[in-house]
Amino acid sequence: MMNWLKTMFRRHQHLIWATLYFLVMTIIITWPFSRYMTNSVVGSIGDNIYFIWLIKWFQKALFELHVSPLFVPFLNYPQGWYLAFTDITPVMVLSGLPASLLGGATFGYNFSMLASFVLSGLGMYIWVRKLTGSSAAGIISGTAYAFLPYRMAHFLIGHLNLSGTQWFPFYFMGLTDLIQMKKFSWTPILLTSVSLGLIGLTSIHYLFMTLLISVVYLIGALILINRRLIRERRFWKSLALTLLCSAPLLFVGIYPFLQINRLGAMPSRTLSYVSQFSASPTDFLLPSTQHFLFGQWVGNHFDRSMWIEATLYLGIVVCALALIAFIAQKKHPQNGLVNLFIWGAFFAFVFALGTDLHWLGHPMGIPENIRQWLSRTDQIIPLPGYLLFKFLPFYAKMRVWMRFGIFVMVFADVLAGIGAAWLLSKVQTPWKNVLALGLLLLVIFDFYPAPMKEYSRVESRPIDAWLSEQPGNGAVVQFPFQLVEDQDQVYYTLSYNKPFLGGFFNAFPPEQYQRIKPILMNFPNQESVDLLKELGVQYVLVDSSYYPDINQTRGNIEKLGLRLLTVIDSEYAFELMAK
């Protein structure tokens, strides 16, 4: 037994060292974030607090209430709220659950977020090392992928779902092995199917994009790798088994969204709305506004108003190494794969450009004289995404085409690994180690963010502690009413444990909310108070900081029959007596 363990350790010790490397680098690059993991989030309170609530809700639903966490009866009360109205990301939530049980939901969220850095880097390292046999090239490409400006942007804003990029290298590694498979093997089938299922359980948007890119990738393989694949029964059998094995996980990930789509609660977006989320080619070339040296200059000289989604910088070093891989491909064992990766990157780039052409963040219009010549009234320059938006089922339900950019980065980084391996193979030891270290430092320099100075403590309000001690199980509502869809309002429900009229409604607002919002926006008046009684509201919170004359507002509220219970900070708490 001991000999077997020693053998396994020697065989896989490179994985242990790589894991430790990515763990240490994650702590360094995000420093001093690890010091605040138990009670704070990086940046300001935003989407991050929704995911903290989500982890705590999963914990409560699974271990205390023993119910499905996919439906929340105490939000959007009394109708309830399906989590599928926004992203659920069960894999990212469950990965943070053990840490949440130990140190609280904030710690669980931060743990899951930081783990995504380590696993993303490790996945790319494993893939590149498998392709090239070079651990150094794997570390270089893994570092580039783990600390992509794209990942850092979504980390800073708190997008736990979109930070779950760790499955892409494993998925495309399995799919590539399946394409190259000479004889039947379960290994690439299981790797591809499990990875695809995990993508589906991370983000429904990532899953849809992955399936589309996979179709393009397979077509590229038939053209560039082996045209006889289309006639090989083994290939189609392996592909069918992959889909079959992934079906259970995919069903779990997709079913909640199909359910609300059947209810008509997931409408298609309008073209005018989604157009703004089309990437510009320049987004892939401009360094991140968070870069420690160039970030401020980029922000001052270019329109980066949509910097979160538009941070798609590939990196100078990555692009240079990918170019080397392309130039040297004829001398490289992966020459066919290099073309396939370029193919995948190109189409992902085209999809990221969205429905119509943009430049520097602004739509490019067709000149007037050309429009007249073409007899066209619209000004946009349509791209292939426009046809997908019009004709591909479910495509119009997405909105941020820029996120296709992550696939450009996946293929660019694996190409960079191949290019790095080729370069290193041309250098003799000990200069090989010097070159590897130099390339690694250049990648780090290219992506290194400015120190993270802003942190926000995650905590409930004093009014929430007071509410938790009040009798009755009547619902709570917050005014002004537009506040009920703020993420922090959802988090506060964890403290007072009472039903709440609001929820996280910025994606697809539920029917009840759309129906009651026009009335409750006019509070205080008799119609709004009658509706609150009908909805079972007991406690009415009014944030005085939003009202120019709170004394007059208070008087109007009390005339309508509500009783002032307490004032804590800016919050006035009223009780609405039942009918």
Bridge partners of residue 478, in order along the sequence:
541
Q: Which two tokens stand for residue 38?
A: 């138990």
Identify the three-state secondary structure at position 146: helix
CA dihedral 212, 218, 224, 227 (to 10 degrees): -140
| Spatial contact of 477 and 542, defined as CB atoms under 8 Å apart | no
pLDDT digit string (tens) for the chain, length 579 residues: 556 656 656 677 889 999 999 999 999 999 999 999 999 999 888 889 999 999 999 999 999 989 999 999 999 999 999 888 888 899 999 999 999 999 999 999 999 999 999 999 999 999 999 999 999 999 999 999 999 999 999 999 999 999 999 999 999 999 999 998 888 889 999 999 999 999 999 999 999 999 999 999 999 999 988 888 888 888 899 999 999 999 999 999 998 888 887 777 778 888 888 999 999 999 999 999 999 999 999 999 998 888 999 999 999 999 999 999 999 876 665 568 999 999 999 999 999 999 999 998 888 876 655 555 545 555 778 899 999 999 999 899 888 999 999 999 999 999 999 999 999 999 888 889 999 999 999 999 999 999 888 899 999 999 999 999 999 889 999 999 999 988 899 999 999 999 999 888 777 788 899 999 999 999 999 999 999 999 999 999 999 999 999 999 999 999 999 999 999 999 999 998 765
| Alpha carbon 557 to its chain's center | 42
The CA-CA-CA angle for residues 440, 446, 448, to 5°, reads: 90
Q: At what angle do helices 105-132 and 135-146 cross, to 10 degrees?
A: 140
Cβ partners under 8 Å of residue 124, min gap 6: 138, 141, 142, 144, 145, 146, 169, 410, 413, 414, 417
Q: Report the pLDDT value the prediction gives residue 19, as an integer from 0 to 100.
A: 95
| Spatial contact of 118 and 22, defined as CB atoms under 8 Å apart | yes
Instruction: Give the Cα separation of 446 and 435 in Å (integer).
Output: 16
Instruction: Give the Cα separation of 412 and 435 in Å (integer).
Output: 20
Instruction: Give the Cα separation of 84 and 90 in Å (integer).
Output: 11
CA dihedral 274, 276, 281, 285 (to 10 degrees): -120
DSSP for 450-510, written as a single string:
PP---EEE----HHHHHHHTSSS--EEEEESGGGGGSHHHHHHHHHH---BS----SSS--
Instruction: Give the Cα separation of 278 and 30 in Å (integer).
Output: 29
- CA nearest neighbour of 91 among 243, 240, 207, 188: 207
CA distances from 377 to 354, 355, 467 (A): 20, 17, 57
Bridge partners of residue 365, in order along the sequence:
380
Q: Which two tokens stand for residue 145?
A: 């992928």
